[in-house]
Amino acid sequence: MAAVALAAVALALALAFGGSESSKAQPEASGVEGQPAVEIVSPRNGARQTSHAVVVKVSVENFELAPRQFSGEPQLAEGHLRYSLNRVPDCVDPVKLLHAVNSPLGKGRLVGASFDYAKYAGPNGVLAERIGSAGSYSPGTRPEIYYHSLPPGFYRLIVNLAQNNGATTQFHEVTNFQILQPPGHHAKHCEEGKVPSAKAAARLE
């Protein structure tokens, strides 16, 4: 029963923070033969782990990663990846939660702290700071990125295909995962009036 409840929380959080049961976030057009597409291979949507590091791996189709053209002129079906990792707030403002409940697929989604900085995203984070995208996304010219020193909690990851000049395309995917508390540790109590993330998820089922 506990496993079922945790799975329900993960699914509800996925809906609240922009994911889906299958973690697909590509438009229907991406299923057309020849259209670019990106798929998150790991971590899987709803994954739970004790490690404070995660290796994100993606699969790209009909789109060429072009490191030598990074920051260059846009070209058809080539460019790089934009990785965006955010941690779901432990304690949610009830007003923001209400917006998410009323508009789970709109601008009312809850957005947490970004981990797209050099101290978490390594070389990709260094590059993000160099081009001014730190705190928004980490650029990548390879189909993987390594995040480390992540605190326990729920996370939402978005991977976008981007043109050489950094402009995002419509092709993307979303996944949600959880880093568990160490044995004997528990999530902090929320101040009065705030809603814990697990209860927020229950509101969004």
- Which residues, at least 6 apart from 84, have a Cβ–Cβ distance to it below 8 Å? 114, 116, 136, 137, 138, 157, 158, 159, 160
**Closest among 169, 152, 155, 162 to 124, alpha carbons compared:** 162
Name the least confident of 47-61, 77-91, 125-139.
77-91
Domain range list for the chain: 2-203
> How remote is the C-alpha of 115 from its chain's centroid?
10
Average pLDDT over residues 9-35: 47
Q: Is 71 left (phi over 0), alpha (psi -120 to 50) or beta?
A: left
pLDDT at 32: 56
Percent of the chain residues topping a pLDDT of 70? 71
pLDDT digits (tens, 9 = 90+) for 126-181: 999 999 999 999 999 999 999 999 999 888 899 999 999 999 999 999 988 989 98
CB contact at 8 A, 11 and 128: no
CA nearest 49: which of 110, 2, 109, 6? 6
Please choose, from the candidates 141, 138, 131, 178, the residue with its C-alpha nearest in 3D space to the C-alpha of residue 158.
138
Given a cut of 70, whether residue 205 has pLDDT beyond it is: no
137 and 82 Cβ atoms separated by less than 8 Å: yes
The residue among 32 and 96 whose pLDDT is bigger is: 96
Nearest 5°: CA angle at 204, between 46 and 184?
50
Instruction: Reduce the DSSP state of residue 148 to 3 states and report it.
Output: coil
CATH number for 2-203 (one of 2.60.40.10, 3.90.950.10, 3.40.50.2300, 3.40.47.10): it is 2.60.40.10
Say if residue 26's pLDDT is above 50.
no
Backbone angles phi, psi at 80, to 5 degrees: -145, -170
- Percentage of the residues of the chain whose pLDDT score is greater than 90: 53
